Chains A and B, each alone.
Chain A
Amino acid sequence: MLPILAQAEIPDIQWLPLIPHIVMAGAAVVLLTIVSVAGRWLPGWFAAAWTVAAGLGVLATAIPVWIRVDQWGPHSTIAGSIGVDQFSVFIIGVLACTVVLTALVADGFLHRESLDGPAFYVLLMLSAAGGITMASANNLIVLFLGLEILSLAVYVLVAMHLRRAESQEAGIKYFVLGAFASAFLLYGIALVYGATGSINLAEIENILSSNDLSDNGLLLAGMAMLLVGFGFKVAAVPFHAWTPDVYQGAPSPVVSYMAAGVKAAGFAALLRVFFGAFGPIYEEGQLADLRQVTDDWQPVVFGLAIASLAVGSMLAIVQTDVKRILAYSSISHAGFILVGVQAATDDGVASVLFYLAAYAAMAIGSFAVITVVSGPGDEGTALDNLRGLAARRPLLAAAFTVLLLSQAGIPFTAGFWAKFEVITAAVDARSFWLAVIAMLAAVVAAFLYLRIVVAMFLDAPDADAPRLRVPPGPAIAIAIVVLFTLAFGIYPEPLLKLADDAWLNLRLWAH
């Protein structure tokens, strides 16, 4: 044995909370092995089915973790580098569902585009494993590792469509800008370490609550760099420039994963660092009477939120490509979620979680519809391709309408309650004007969803429009998300309660 290993202290590891991580990453590696050994004897749907099973497995193994945290309270494992709390379990759940649904959507797509093979699914699961690590990281380096695993897999996924130049271009664009953003993030981590002397989030939180570092230049610069890095991942303005191009170029199922999964993981990491470590400091239930670090970042997030809301909803109006429209709308959704982040309260965190879950459903469903409609070559993503969809495929058009209305925040959809919760959090934190601006942006955004609805229902279909085939995978995925959207639109209580319970408080941890 190497001497260095002999000296190393192996930390005490609890395995149960790590099982979802292991299942997700392990399933990817095992799938790769199976396919390379026995690929030729396996049926075409094997990889997709394997991925669905892996996602469900993660979901199933996350439940005991949730129950355990419920009983024992939040804690950490592997020498305090992985946090075990309901916040991370919630995000793990969202990511697992995202993987399941994306795999369903991708099944028909890959076959149609003759891109069959396990690569897509392996990368998808690896990326989600990175996301899970981000969501539960209690250590800035672990968080960075998670982010890189997530991102590298997505860079390849974006460039997955071998015969489309746009896909290659999008991949390069996303890779260069993403690498740049990662560098910012890493630099931010270094600066925060310089200011606080720790990379452990719970320790940083502890240090900040006993020392006033709110004017520390090193810490401020570090926080700014971290915001740039996260802002890029969640597509917040002004770090959004890649979004429309990449969404348009990337294969449609990949976009559904990016909009739902990458955003969720990005916001989870953002909240862990900014609300968990740099969050408000309480003493006996009251805000502590000292200058809060939150006062430093709240105004910046306020600005990011307004910029994202305004740019996202307004630029979407002038687009003619549905994928670009939805890319800008995802920017405006990021703005909405930032409204919840800006509140910097437990309710705010809960509202962000609810929003992420609801948005994941809408985004996956919307891009699943586009996957189906875009036809061979993934080319038909212009608004014109949707004209008269209601006459050609009434159920598909109705499902897309439900998802769009949910994105617009119309009552009796999950999207309404997502907006309701976020605005509640903002109003409760007395950010009235932010709430007002967010709602105005929602009205502007409603216009672009209406444009799509008009095209589907009120325009006549082209006479030579090709017959649409809806493969079973996407059909199941769309049915699930529509049911989800309507069910939680009518009775959101269970999901609200889950998001409420999934709170984030590093202080309570037994270190």
Chain B
Amino acid sequence: MDGSMVLPVIIFLPLVGAAAIALIAPSRSMVLKPVAVATSAATGALTLWLMAAFEAGDGGFQFTQFAEWIGSAGISWHVGVDGISLFLVVLTGLLFPIAIVACDPPHDAKAYYIWMLVLETGCLGVFLALDLVLFFLFFEVVLIPMYFLIGKWGHENRKYAATKFFLFTMLGSALMLVGMLALALLTARETGGAVTFNLVELAEDAGALPTITARWIFLSFALAFAVKVPIFPVHTWLPDAHTEAPTAGSVILAGVLLKLGTYGLVRFGLYLFPEASRYFAPLLFTLGVIGILYGAVVATMQRDLKRLVAYSSVAHLGFIVLGIFSINTEGIEGGLLQMVNHGLSTGALFLLVGFIYERRHTRQISEMIGLQKAAPVLAAVFTVVMLSSVGLPGLNGFVGEFLILAGAFVAHRWWAVVAAAGVILAALYLLWAYQRVFHGTPDDANRSMPDLNWQEKLVMAPLVGLIVFLGVYPKPVIERMEPAVNQLISHMEQVEGFQSPTVGDRPEGSFEELRELKADYGEGEGH
């Protein structure tokens, strides 16, 4: 396959599948699912091929494709993949077939599969777009399939949750549109060049804008992504949306959609606004740490198993934000890795909760007891996934959290200490929930619960496999991420003329050196 065509094929293959499904006659409804599975699996296979063909040592964009689109406005079709987006693309490619195989819609199967595949196109487009407007188009258009998935196939309170999700996210991106236009137009005015929304070109001129202007524009971007992540205190749509969404919707929402926000923070926050990112970093990682603790505490209090998992997402994404805004190689790498880990483990958790709900028709923790006896395989899988979410060494969650804490420790020591407490809290709420649901003697309602069937085992197998694999041997992922992250850091330093502290030059307890570091940091701020 020609290298430059692979990304458009990846992006639009699900859309083609959706169109094919739209054309299937109602009398042939049994082929709907096979077509959806085949399309998403083929897309997943292509993303795996992409990972294999990816040049590991290269930190730049690969497989790029560029074409004029709306020339008069400086908007182009520009896609490409680098170490930062590669694994999010692969994650998307893996989670969609899993989610589609795992859950059958109770009604309107045709529309359901169409929306799922349209959603996949949107998500892949977001991760691969290298033009601001193109990115924004995909970023916004993702809302519509998700809105319908929640609103039509969700639980009791679905209309409220769907509308809230839509409006919250749209609010953020509405301001981002203004920021985006201001960035492109003002940069063009400063440099005297033509207006362009090309990410690479804008990043080259990242230092051109006056500091204050850049900070304002950064805020408009950060707000949009903060809602999507979601960062405390704009997270309130998340528990509703996750809880009310159908199982596959929750899996994709947690696994992929939340990553659009964190990915945006790295790709558009750090990359385009080095100075402003550093200036606002204290605010953002503080909110991240608050999110870790708040998410954990609120999760502990939940009576609804799905809501508990939803709040655990708030905590986990707090970690990712903390890592990103440590602004050093370890932190950002940890953040990126944790995005993948969270996608795997929380996606798996939502699937398991969905399986339990299908059997017990309840999500209340108090109504479940002793499921371990009734469904040992389910309990075993749940244990592995939960421990990955807790961050047990040997499973994937540990690697990401460790890197984040290492990066945060260098950048902001005490915040790392507080965040580490969040790890303990995670163990608390997840283990406690596990204990209540799976341990004990099952009562009549729970005794006869069937265990996982072969189809469910099949979809859990790759997730559990990856959870273990990435915990034991994360090197293939990290070595592909690292050049891109290093390039990002050096780009930021180049724009700012600032040296960031890394683990290597960590002061060994010497106050003089620490003070020097702080002085450096102050210089960077004043820039």
Contacts and interface: CB of A to CB of B under 8 A. Distances in A.
Q: Do chains A and B stick together as partners?
A: yes
A446 interface: yes
B159 interface: yes
B70 A493 contact: yes
Contacts of B166: 446, 450
A458 interface: yes
A458 B71 contact: no
Nearest to B143: A410
Interface residues of A, number: 30
A435 B175 CA distance: 9
A423 B70 CA distance: 17
Interface stretch (A65-73, A267-275, A424-432): A424-432
Interface residues of B, number: 32
B141 A411 contact: yes
A446 B73 contact: no
Contact of B175 (A411, A419, A439, A500): A439
A410 B182 CA distance: 20
Contacts of B141: 410-412
Contacts of A484: none
Contacts of B143: 410
Contacts of B137: 411-412, 416
Interface in A332-351: none
A427 B178 contact: yes
Contact of A458 (B70, B151, B171): B151
B490 interface: no
Interface string B179-195: 00110010000000000
A457 interface: yes
From B151, B178, B185, name the one whose CB has the most chain A CB atoms within 10 angstroms: B178
A435 B167 contact: no
Nearest to A489: B137
B177 A428 contact: no
A447 interface: yes
A416 B139 CA distance: 13
Contacts of B147: 450
Interface in A381-425: 405, 410-412, 416, 419-420, 423-424
Given A411-B141, A439-B175, A500-B72, A458 B152 contact: yes
B140 interface: yes
Contacts, number: 81
A497 interface: yes
B70 A432 contact: no
Nearest to A497: B72
A454 B151 contact: yes
B163 A442 contact: no
A410 B144 contact: yes
B421 interface: no
A94 to B, nearest CB: 20
B174 interface: yes
A443 interface: yes
B167 A423 contact: no
A410 B140 contact: yes
Contacts of A491: 69-70
Interface string B155-182: 0001100110011001100110110011
Nearest to B174: A439
Interface in B135-154: 136-138, 140-141, 143-144, 147-148, 151-152
A60 interface: no
Interface string A439-454: 1101100110010001
Nearest to A424: B181
Contacts of B163: 447, 450, 454
B110 to A, nearest CB: 10
B181 A423 contact: yes
Given A420-B177, A427-B178, A458-B159, A496 B73 contact: yes
A394 B3 CA distance: 40
A439 B71 CA distance: 24
A436 B151 contact: no
From A405, A432, A440, A492, name the one whose CB has the most chain B CB atoms within 10 angstroms: A432
A260 B185 CA distance: 31
A439 B177 contact: yes
A355 to B, nearest CB: 15
B142 to A, nearest CB: 10
Contacts of A428: 185
B151 A432 contact: no
B159 A411 contact: no
B174 A432 contact: no
Given A457-B151, A492-B70, A496-B70, A423 B177 contact: yes
Nearest to A458: B151
Nearest to A493: B70
A440 B177 CA distance: 11
B171 A432 contact: no
Contacts of B151: 454, 457-458
Q: What 6 pairs between A and B have smallest CB-CB spacing?
A: A439-B174, A411-B137, A427-B181, A435-B178, A411-B141, A411-B140
14 contacts: A411-B137, A412-B141, A427-B185, A428-B185, A436-B178, A439-B177, A442-B174, A447-B167, A450-B166, A454-B159, A457-B148, A491-B70, A493-B70, A497-B72
Given A458-B159, A496-B70, A496-B73, 16 more contacts: A405-B144, A410-B141, A410-B144, A420-B177, A420-B181, A423-B181, A427-B182, A435-B178, A439-B175, A442-B174, A443-B170, A446-B167, A457-B152, A493-B69, A493-B70, A493-B72
